[in-house]
C-alpha cells in the first residue's frame, strides 16, 4: 500500500469521526486508536513498510473499539485526551517544520501532544456530551489535516498550496461539531415530545 492511499484512508476516517463521534462512540474510540497507531508508528518507525503501519493501526483501533463496547467510563476521558493530544502533536509538527534539529522537533511534537492531552482530558471530564462532540469533531479535523498532508504534499505530487489540508481539517471539525450538536438537539426534541 502506498503512503498516499494511507493518507486518504486517514482523511476518510477523520470525516467519519468528525460527524459520528457522539452517535457511534465505540467507532470514535476505534478510529482514535487507529489514528494514534498510524501517526505514532510513522513517527517512531518511519523505515518500515506502510503495510506494517496499517496493521499496527488496525490492531490498535480494534482493541480500542472492543474496550469502548465494554463501556468503561474512563474511555470517554481517554478519548478526549488522545484526540486533543493529536491536535497538539500536529500543531507542534507544523511549527517545527523549519527546525533542523530532529531531537528538538520531536520534543516539540511530544510536548504538544502532552499539553493537548491535558486540555482534552478537562474538556471531556467537565462537560461530557458537548465535550465529546467537540473533541471528536476536532480529532476528525486533525485526521483530515494529517491524512491530506500525507496524501497530497508529503508523498504525492508536490503542491504549492499547503493550506488545503488545514482548511479541509478546519471545515471537517466545524461542520462535524455542528452536525453532532444538531443531532443531539433533534434527539432532545424527540424525547421531550415523547413525554
Q: What is the pLDDT of residues 75-86, one digit of tens each?
A: 777 777 877 887
Contact 54, 10 (CB under 8 A): no
- Domain containing residue 95: 3-194
Give the pLDDT band of residue 64 (cuts 50, 70, 90). Answer: confident
CB-based burial label for 97 (10 Å; 0-12, 13-18, 19+): exposed
pLDDT at residue 154 above 70? no
**Rg (the chain; Cα; Å):** 17
Hey, what's the torsion of the CAs at 87, 90, 92, 96, to 10 degrees? -170
User: For the whole prediction, is pTM greater than 0.95?
Assistant: no
Return the residue matching grid coordinates 499547503: 162
The total number of structural domains that make up the chain: 1
Amino acid at each position: 500500500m502506498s503512503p498516499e492511499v494511507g493518507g486518504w484512508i486517514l482523511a476518510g476516517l477523520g470525516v467519519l469521526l468528525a460527524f459520528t463521534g457522539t452517535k457511534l462512540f465505540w467507532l470514535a474510540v476505534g478510529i482514535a486508536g487507529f489514528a494514534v497507531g498510524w501517526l505514532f508508528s510513522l513517527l517512531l518507525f518511519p523505515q518500515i513498510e506502510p503495510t506494517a503501519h496499517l496493521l499496527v493501526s488496525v490492531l490498535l483501533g480494534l482493541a480500542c473499539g472492543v474496550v469502548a463496547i465494554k463501556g468503561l467510563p474512563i474511555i470517554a476521558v481517554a478519548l478526549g485526551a488522545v484526540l486533543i493530544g493529536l491536535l497538539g502533536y500536529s500543531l507542534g509538527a507544523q511549527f517545527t517544520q523549519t527546525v533542523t534539529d530532529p531531537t528538538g522537533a520531536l520534543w516539540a511534537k511530544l510536548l504538544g501532544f502532552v499539553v493537548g492531552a491535558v486540555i482534552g482530558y478537562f474538556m471531556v471530564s467537565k462537560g461530557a456530551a458537548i465535550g465529546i462532540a467537540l473533541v471528536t469533531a476536532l480529532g476528525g479535523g486533525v485526521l483530515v489535516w494529517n491524512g491530506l498532508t500525507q496524501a497530497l504534499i508529503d508523498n504525492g505530487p508536490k503542491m504549492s498550496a499547503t493550506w488545503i489540508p488545514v482548511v479541509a481539517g478546519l471545515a471537517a471539525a466545524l461542520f462535524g461539531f455542528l452536525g453532532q450538536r444538531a443531532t443531539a438537539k433533534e434527539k432532545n426534541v424527540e424525547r421531550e415530545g415523547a413525554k
